[in-house]
Structure 1
Amino acid sequence: MVSSHPNRAYGLCPDAVTLHAAIAGKEVSARDALEACLAAIDDRNDAINAVVYEDRAGARAQADACDGAEDCFGPLQGVPVTIKECFDWAGHPTTWGDPDRSNCIAETDSHVVSRLKTAGAIIIGKTNIPPYLSDWETANPLFGQTRNPHDPSRSAGGSSGGSAAAVASGMSYIDIGSDQGGSIRYPAHCCGVFGLKPSWGEISLAGHSPLNELREPDIGAAGPLARSARDIALALSVLRSKPASDKESLPKKIKIAQLPTLSGCPIDTRYQQAFDRFTDRLRNTGTTVVQAQPDIDFERATEVMNLLVRAETSRKTELVADYRVRQQLEPATNNKLAERNAKGTALSHRDWLILHEERLEMCRKVAWFFEEFDVLLCPASAGPAPRFRFANDAASRTVQVNGNDMPILKLHMLYMLGSLLYLPACVMPIGDRIEGMPVGVQLVGSFGSDDLLLAAASAFNGSGVIQMGRG
């Protein structure tokens, strides 16, 4: 058996890469690895509510088949994984957190589920989401609310909050989430795990639509959450829509830019200090870190992002509106952010083309920036995971920053580069804690530099494997 890991609360191995090697070497059985994850679910899921649907019989049959196989050893063979609830999994429900969809059974697999199956992963079940992915909190009337594994009074983030909480608490080695405006990155930061929003188009979102759309959506991306940067890299290699070119390795002298403070998105002082300590540690290794940012207007770029995101989700608006009527939820009023959302939802195709042209000019300027720098370090949020709060509408939701309430939608300024401009962005934990909560940092790279970004995250992390939350 693999020796015990002193910081591991659950699971036979600290991360998926280690587990896969142990299964391949017959040191660990896939069934034992699965049962360890199921034990974590039994022990913690009542308090955290990360996993909302399971197929234990199917998972056990898969694990036993893996242990009995003589060949056909896939890159995730025997590794227990979960998937965000909104991904279709043939023969299983895809509800999008809406009680009226509780009997909607997927007929085919989404792209990510198909790739996981082909790679030999053991799919345990599905993780929680907000209704139609429309909030920064993970709660819905069908499954209830997901809590943070490190402190159940805190938020796990959204919309991939169940994904991050499952990985952080040992219920799963890898989860596949989705990200349009920070929905992988924010929960990864809140729960202290690794999360990648890949370059746009790197992983297909086929089978991730309540309207069964065939097109690939603008801005949105599928991506993995895991316990280590190398697990993220492994998952990315499995999920890619097309084979990657030769993997990029870190240059011998990597040049890093640190994003200066943005007036439009205040950062909690304690978190800024932790962020600065992290960059100081990098400098102490001889790494070049300088304050710099792309030559774009972050306020305007964030506005463009909000408009284009709402335009992208405009077909889903009727589903959300109908859901809100059934749940007797009132819309936000007298809120400039809500007004901007409404404007984006009603955007004409002509106006979309104008905004898209503006976006492409920003993409060009950011490409020039990455000709000088390898990685841009950004905050992963405005502070540690906030207290869990109910809010009538995401546009009304606030977070505390230095004792003051700030609209949570201001966080889009931190996630804009990855979302609006198609860039890869990886959140990794940095070891510091604030009020007992883990915090992370966001690494952003040039379009298509996903592998280089993950190599950087692995190098920056040191030990490479997180400590899973015990609450």
Structure 2
Amino acid sequence: MNPADPLSMSAAQMAAALRAGTITSRALVDAHVARIEAVNPRINAVVQTRYEAARAEADAADRRLRQTTDKSALPPLLGVPCTLKENFAFAGYPQVSGLVARRAAIADRDAPTVARLRAAGAIALGFTNTPELCMWMETHNRVYGRTGNAYDAAHTAGGSSGGEGAIIGAGGSPFGLGADVGGSIRFPAFFNGVFGHKPTPGIVPNTGQHPLPEGAMNHNCVTGPIARRAEDLWPLLNILAGPDGQDPVCSAGALKGDPARVRLDRLRILSLPDNGRRRVAGDLREAQQRAANWLAAQGRGLHVPRLRPLRSSFEIWSALMQEAQPQPFAAQLGQGRRIPVLREFLKWGAGASAHTLPALVLAAIESLPMPHGRYARLGRELREALIDAIGDDGVLLFPPYTRAAPRHNWPMATPFDFAYCGIFNVLGFPVTQVPLGLNRRGLPLGVQVVGIPGNDAVTIAVAQALEKQFGGWVMPNSPTRAE
């Protein structure tokens, strides 16, 4: 990493350089805009831009930086550029969420998380692509098209925060805002070689998204940061955290601990190579094992727990989502009125449907009979077993998926593999996704670091340690240290 290169700097480094007067906000914004313009024709990650507004905000930030004597009184992210997932409301800009019926939707106010980032001084450069209504692990819709991977555009960028992951992985943004109901922060972070944090439910409000999680779904769906550098995750989480008076789950929003105070030598390291049902590719298993061995050497050894219910991760996710979901997905696609799924399948076959195939498949399978009660009970048992196994002084390393970023459409052939991430949504655990170099094909490897509810600081501390040891994010087409 070249610390003087704006496209390699963390948000924290940018903020420090701005206060020291060694760089200007306008220079940071211009550098990232130039990078977006260079890579976006290939990956289609940023689907709406506000470059001129961003430049004006950067100029205003530079004036404020020059005129302020006490720099400690300035907002923490003053003058730092970023991007935002398009399904978060930003006043005056589209909030389409990949749905053709919402092509003309314009937000009339900022989502609370967006408002908090702006109040902290962050400058939004643009808004990034999602799947249709953010409900698939590939980013593709009939409004904005398909997003490609930062390292190979023929491969998936993940979803639903795929645009965020891709543009951050490509060097076009230091951080962004994502949301995660089944891996939607962690898949894009993994596939594009950057960091992502799925917080403990109730810390960050979901208000201002579309589709808007309602009721108990605010427990399964969480909002969190994606970043090129691990050191930004905790400060961003602190900015985003806190009740907004609207999200019923986010009533306290209290963060506990501090990554700086976490001692690796006192941590118990647990690692599982797979979920016992779907095997994981050798390169991904080996990368996780390297990370596990190194962490174990720093701490209290390596443990391999026995957690057989993980075999039923998809069924548990489906059951607990069903318990929490107030509105069927088919009705969400119709904006409150259930779409005729069979008719839409026929139209899709003729190339005439406004919906994508994954969205129609999800709408169809949600009505299939399943013994939800049994799997909901199994999920609650698994939650307690995981809390006991990990404990307050441990973390679990777990694969984010069965393989590195597959080619476009291939996830449809193994649709239940997303449960490697999704299981931790319905169980309510914080998870930090950590990059671990590139494989022989130049695609990112990585691992999930899982902690018990409330231990966000612990998983982020482990992410920071792994970044120092294994190198973290690698700019596409540059060398990496894999071990």
Contact 2:166–2:192 under 8 Å retained in 1: yes
- Show the 5 A alignment for 1:246-325: 246-247=257-258, 249-251=261-263, 252-285=265-298, 288-293=301-306, 295=307, 297-310=309-322, 312=325, 314-320=327-333, 322=339
SS at match of 1:366: helix
What's 2:255 paired with?
244
What's 1:410 paired with?
417
Would you say 1:435 and 2:430 are equivalent positions? no
Q: 1:201 to 1:356 in 2, by over 3 A?
A: farther
TM-score (norm 2): 0.84
Q: 1:296 to 1:108 in 2, by over 3 A?
A: farther
| Structure 1 residue corresponding to 2:348, chosen from 321, 324, 329 | 329
Aligned-partner residue type, residue 455 of structure 2: S
Contact 1:219–1:420 under 8 Å retained in 2: yes
Name whichever of 251-260 and 241-250 sits farther off: 241-250
Aligned-partner residue type, residue 154 of structure 2: S
Aligned-partner residue type, residue 30 of structure 2: E
What's 1:14 paired with?
9
Across the aligned residues of Structure 1 and Structure 2, the Cα RMSD in angstroms comes to 3.0
- Show the 5 A alignment for 1:19-34: 19-34=14-29
| Separation in 2, partners of 1:336, 1:141 | 16
Aligned-partner residue type, residue 31 of structure 1: R
| Separation in 1, partners of 2:340, 2:103 | 13
| Separation in 1, partners of 2:141, 2:148 | 12
What's 1:401 paired with?
none
Contact 2:7–2:171 under 8 Å retained in 1: no
| Shift in Å, 1:300 | 3.4
| Shift in Å, 1:375 | 0.4
What's 2:458 paired with?
452
Aligned-partner residue type, residue 39 of structure 1: A
Would you say 1:58 and 2:77 are equivalent positions? no
| Separation in 2, partners of 1:97, 1:53 | 12
Report % sequence identity. 30
| Separation in 2, partners of 1:215, 1:268 | 35
Contact 1:259–1:292 under 8 Å retained in 2: yes
TM-score (norm 1): 0.86
Would you say 1:426 and 2:432 are equivalent positions? yes
| Shift in Å, 1:442 | 0.6
Contact 1:149–1:470 under 8 Å retained in 2: no
| Structure 1 residue corresponding to 2:398, chosen from 362, 366, 378 | 378
SS at match of 1:82: strand
| Separation in 2, partners of 1:13, 1:148 | 19
| Shift in Å, 1:39 | 0.3
Which consecutive unaligned segments of at least 5 residues does structure 1 have?
Answer: 399-406
| Shift in Å, 1:171 | 1.3
| Separation in 2, partners of 1:360, 1:283 | 29
What's 1:177 paired with?
178
Give a deviation string over 1:225-266, Cα, whole Å, max 9, x none: 101111111211111123534425323321100114333121
| Separation in 2, partners of 1:19, 1:358 | 46
| Separation in 2, partners of 1:260, 1:45 | 35
Aligned-partner residue type, residue 364 of structure 1: E
Aligned-partner residue type, residue 378 of structure 1: F
| Shift in Å, 1:285 | 4.3
Contact 2:217–2:325 under 8 Å retained in 1: no
Count how many residue pairs are aligned between Structure 1 and Structure 2: 445
- Show the 5 A alignment for 1:41-190: 41-69=36-64, 70-71=67-68, 72-190=73-191
Aligned-partner residue type, residue 304 of structure 1: I
Contact 1:205–1:216 under 8 Å retained in 2: no
Contact 1:138–1:145 under 8 Å retained in 2: yes
Contact 2:99–2:333 under 8 Å retained in 1: no
| Separation in 2, partners of 1:255, 1:371 | 8
Contact 1:167–1:173 under 8 Å retained in 2: yes
SS at match of 1:117: helix
| Separation in 1, partners of 2:169, 2:457 | 23
